[in-house]
Structure 1
């Protein structure tokens, strides 16, 4: 017991670092069985505290004699006591961190103690993370993951531990890890990777990893890397509503959106995410000397609706062209937005009132005469406002 008393004296020369939560509840139980344990735990080093927290996590406190016996079996001194909690408390004070880990897990994998020393003085919120750390170092297939843990500077957080344990192997590089700031971001990154692998035939592990080695410093969340790969998509997530042999409509492949956007002088190239996620489709119309780019939007039940129709440089398409385009899509069950009763003059009124999405409705000359006067009066009011 002399070493125990020496430790109690030594602790007075260090600054206590309290902890709370369930870990404090366990420490108080041990302190009730062996007075002085709580103070010793508060004065322990970061590594020693972590080793004790691991013992807490692995102990069945309905049967504490099991952990007490495991600790006693590895102790170089006699720590026997009538109360198994007192025996456990003595062992946790007297044993060195590697000995505690040996008793708890049965083995101490190379590198694990170095990692545990970097957890800091505070306990991890989820005790299961300690077992996660042990599993990473005890399984040879995780060598790349443990190597990456060793490349992190400073304190190791539970978040970093969980991300490295789960992240896809192609992302196991320090400059990628620093861009994955949360487990939510990791989930999104894995969804993006699955989408790229599904849509881009050339996206092998080798080509993906090579591209990661050339990340732009400006791509701080990997969104530009993801988008660059999606621009190479040869496939779609959904089945288009228009047959591929239709003579008037050409489905614009995702990989061609940039080129078509430049040709039309519009922003098609910026719509890659909508197309890749399967919620939009893009078509090109080239009949009757009418050039138009059409965006379809997915609806529930497998339906589609025309979201917008634009000519070159986003200019409006002629009423005759609009009518032909809508009729063609309608023949395949594609819906259109409607504004009942609006004709050409009504379209002008919609534009005046900044309801621009109604400005492409077909002409209705009977309605024109009735609305023209209203348009002129409103225009006068606006001019004199």
Structure 2
């Protein structure tokens, strides 16, 4: 172990105390073992990462893919996976970590787990037997519907897992997917309506989706009279975010703040 530290002394005495603790305390046996698996010189950053990383993540396949600045975020993502994926047991997580392909990025590894999401942190209050709408609450359902619509819905599972977005399937023809965004007060608002192949949505369908959601207490973020996607010319110029709607980037926060003020005043 000492040979792995190199010839130069560590910058702070506490690093030696940390190493001693990891190798002498049976509770930290896994952390000590991970340090021994590191190829090359073991610097202060490796010691810090190994000390603070969640025990399940203590494996060379993770240690070789993260920096010290990412430790808190990586632990948070793991906590999110544990909270939103019922199959994410310690044993299943550990096995998948051990089997990470050398060419697989850490972001890809986490995204694959979140595609198994089946209990999002928040979802709109729409009954499961609603005759018009079906809330997509699992990554499996999102991937399946995304393939049928030929869009990127399957990649949006992290947004649903965290409760930031929700996607609702319109059961009638022509089919559509309503995209909802959640405000800081927990209220969901309609942000966009996506038809098959992300084509221009049918105005009648947009109106029907909007009216249905409005009847359930879910207003639309867009306030102008035409359909949510707005002018196709703006889309071609890149003037707005296609995943949010026909508003300029700098206007989105103000719209959300305005909606929150309206909800507060109404209460």
* TM-score when normalising by structure 1: 0.57
Q: Does 1:262 align with 2:143?
A: no
Cα separation, 2, equivalents of 1:128 and 1:326: 60
Task: Note the alpha carbon deviations across 1:258-302, whole angstroms, 9 max, x for none.
Answer: 110111121111212211221000010023x23111110111211
Corresponding residue for 1:276? 161
Pick one of 118, 131, 143 that aligns with 2:17.
Answer: 131
Number of residues of Structure 1 aligned to a counterpart in Structure 2:
238
Q: CA deviation at 1:353?
A: 4.7
Q: Does 1:156 align with 2:24?
A: no
Pick one of 312, 318, 328 that aligns with 2:212.
Answer: 328
Corresponding residue for 2:5? 118
Corresponding residue for 1:351? 232
Cα separation, 1, equivalents of 2:61 and 2:74: 15
Change (3 A) 1:351 1:149: closer
Alignment of 1:213-362 (within 5 A): 213-220=98-105, 222-253=106-137, 254-287=139-172, 289-340=173-224, 342-343=225-226, 350-354=231-235, 357-358=245-246
2:123 and 2:166 in contact (8 A); partners too:
no
Cα separation, 1, equivalents of 2:77 and 2:222: 36
Change (3 A) 1:154 1:195: same
Alignment of 1:45-194 (within 5 A): 114-115=1-2, 118-124=5-11, 126-180=12-66, 182-194=67-79
Change (3 A) 1:195 1:117: closer
Q: Secondary structure at the match of 1:195?
A: helix
Q: Secondary structure at the match of 2:134?
A: strand
Cα separation, 2, equivalents of 1:310 and 1:229: 25
Cα separation, 1, equivalents of 2:223 and 2:217: 19
Task: Note the alpha carbon deviations across 1:68-103, whole angstroms, 9 max, x for none.
Answer: xxxxxxxxxxxxxxxxxxxxxxxxxxxxxxxxxxxx
Q: CA deviation at 1:308?
A: 1.0
Change (3 A) 1:130 1:264: same
Q: Unpaired segments of 5 or more residues in structure 1?
A: 1-113, 360-385
Change (3 A) 1:358 1:142: closer
Change (3 A) 1:161 1:312: same
Cα separation, 2, equivalents of 1:343 and 1:148: 58
Bigger Rg over Cα: 1
Q: Greater RCO between the two (CA within 8 Å, min separation 6)?
A: 2
* TM-score when normalising by structure 2: 0.80
Structure having the higher helix fraction is: 1
> Which sits farther off after the overlay, 268-277 or 142-151?
142-151
Cα separation, 1, equivalents of 2:40 and 2:113: 33
> Which sits farther off after the overlay, 324-333 or 237-246?
237-246
1:241 and 1:334 in contact (8 A); partners too:
no
2:178 and 2:194 in contact (8 A); partners too:
yes
Q: CA deviation at 1:119?
A: 4.8
Q: Secondary structure at the match of 1:235?
A: coil
Corresponding residue for 1:47? none
Q: CA RMSD in A?
A: 2.4
> Which sits farther off after the overlay, 239-248 or 266-275?
239-248
Q: Secondary structure at the match of 1:336?
A: coil
Corresponding residue for 2:95? 210
Cα separation, 2, equivalents of 1:167 and 1:252: 32
